Amino acid sequence: MAVRVMSKRAVGLTYGQRALVIGAVHPLLYIGTATHTEHRETPYTRLAITGRLFEAVFLGSRAEADRALEFTRRKHARVSGAISEDAGPAYPAGTRYDARDPHLMFMTMAFTFDSALAMHELLVRRLTPGEREGLWQDYVRWGELFGMPRSAAPVDYPSFRAAFDGYLASDQPYLTDEARLVGAYLSGAREPGYPLPGAAKLAAPALAKVIQGSVPDPIRRMYGIEWGITDELVFRSVVQSIRSAHRRAPLAPAVLRPVLRGRSAGGYTTVARGERAVRRHGGSTMPDVDRTAVVAGLAG
């Protein structure tokens, strides 16, 4: 099921952004990643690298998957510390984090799984209960490959759904100032500080509506994203168009079918290349985030 879902480009090109937008509400995950990444000032490149690593495990050969897993293990070994200021009632200053913590591993997997499922059901088709369970079990195995103990995850999809939705409805989610800015850019609520190439520029507004419309209302409110009737109508129109393309896929010319299915690494590479070009010319893809990151670094 994981291969079937992740090979849909409508999923591969959107689930990562959604997962980061929602996942940013977990302060330990966000601060731990932002503090230890080599790409704090190039967040789109970081997204592209993560997308390629995940895709290698889902869709690549055994050798590709092994290389991706080993690269991730080396990176995670250095991700450990404590937050320097309060991040909501559940995470006071001094709360420690470690990338190898079983619960944080599970939460990373949970945000990723929830977004892959959400984008497939939104843009391709709804899964049956049996397919959802199959996808859940595949993702649990995926988490285990990255080092998560099996016991850290709920035993089945209904248990996950109750636990995850309960978490989002609790007082634990919290956005730091930097997380709010990064999430706003990734959701399309703020325009990136660089011109997207060709077709990507034309598709960006529609993609932004898909990402924003796919996240739960409480998350949109946390980001301060306004969502009115016009936004909802545009969102539904874009979603319907993409779903219709998948329904008609068997009747489409053979040359068009690969557009809907396959690896999405090319899209990740395009985004990362554009960001590197901006940086070479002294620009920034998320200008306000750079300043926030500097302040956070001084505070730490």
pLDDT in tens, 80-136: 999 998 999 999 999 999 999 999 999 999 999 999 999 999 999 999 999 999 999
Q: What is the pLDDT, as a whole number, of residue 202? A: 65
Across the range 271-285, mean pLDDT stands at: 78
**pLDDT tens for each residue of 181-213:** 989 988 988 877 666 655 566 677 888 999 999
Does 258 have pLDDT greater than 90? no
**Number of alpha carbons in the 13 Å side-chain half-sphere of residue 160:** 24
Instruction: Enter the pTM of the model.
Output: 0.88
